[in-house]
């Protein structure tokens, strides 16, 4: 069965960086984009960007340009997202999710990784 399993919760200080991983299984990794989204408490999910599994090409939401880096390792079918220069308003649940290559919808999601930014 399709699974996306994310790394554990993180607590970071303002100005630091965080890296969250997403280990996938149960499907052909190179056939689906991996997206990263985040959700602050009481808010809707917010799309951060995607990575093409084959080429490694990325597309980031303008809001995160310059602070986010998405990578993947096809040998271990794992994607990662790093966010730098963290601020308190980056505190959120971060999710990876997959979509087909038409980017029609997010059909499977990771369980989420809570990132808390606090001094």
Pick between residue 73 and residue 107 the one whose CB is nearest to other proteins.
107
Question: What is the SS3 assignment for 21?
Answer: strand
Q: What angle do CA 105, 108, 109 make, to 5 degrees?
A: 110
The closest of 23, 115, 1 to 77, measured between CA atoms, is 23
Interaction of residue 112 with other proteins, rule CB under 8 A: yes
Interaction of residue 25 with other proteins, rule CB under 8 A: no
Pick between residue 5 and residue 16 the one whose CB is nearest to other proteins.
5
Interaction of residue 68 with other proteins, rule CB under 8 A: no
* Beta-sheet strands, E only, within 54-106: 58-60, 68-73, 78-83, 92-99
Q: What is the C-alpha to C-alpha distance for residues 5 and 112, in angstroms, rounded to an integer?
A: 8
Interaction of residue 53 with other proteins, rule CB under 8 A: no
**82 has which bridge partners?**
19, 69
C-beta of 119: minimal distance to other proteins in Å?
Answer: 26
Number of residues that bind other proteins (CB under 8 A): 20
Interface residues with other proteins (CB under 8 A) are 35, 44-47, 50, 59, 61-62, 95, 97, 103-107, 109-112
């Amino acid at each position: 069965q399709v699974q996306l399993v994310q790394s554990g919760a993180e607590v970071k200080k303002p100005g630091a960086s965080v890296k969250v991983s997403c280990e996938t299984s149960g499907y052909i990794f190179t056939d689906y984009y991996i997206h990263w989204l985040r959700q602050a408490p009481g808010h809707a999910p917010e799309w951060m960007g995607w990575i093409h599994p084959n080429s490694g090409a990325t597309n980031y939401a303008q809001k995160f340009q310059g602070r986010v880096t998405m990578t993947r390792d096809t040998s271990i079918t794992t994607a990662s997202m790093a966010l730098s220069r963290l601020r308190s308003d980056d505190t959120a649940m971060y999710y990876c999710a997959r979509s087909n290559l038409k980017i029609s919808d997010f059909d499977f999601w990771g369980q989420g990784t809570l990132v808390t930014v606090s001094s």
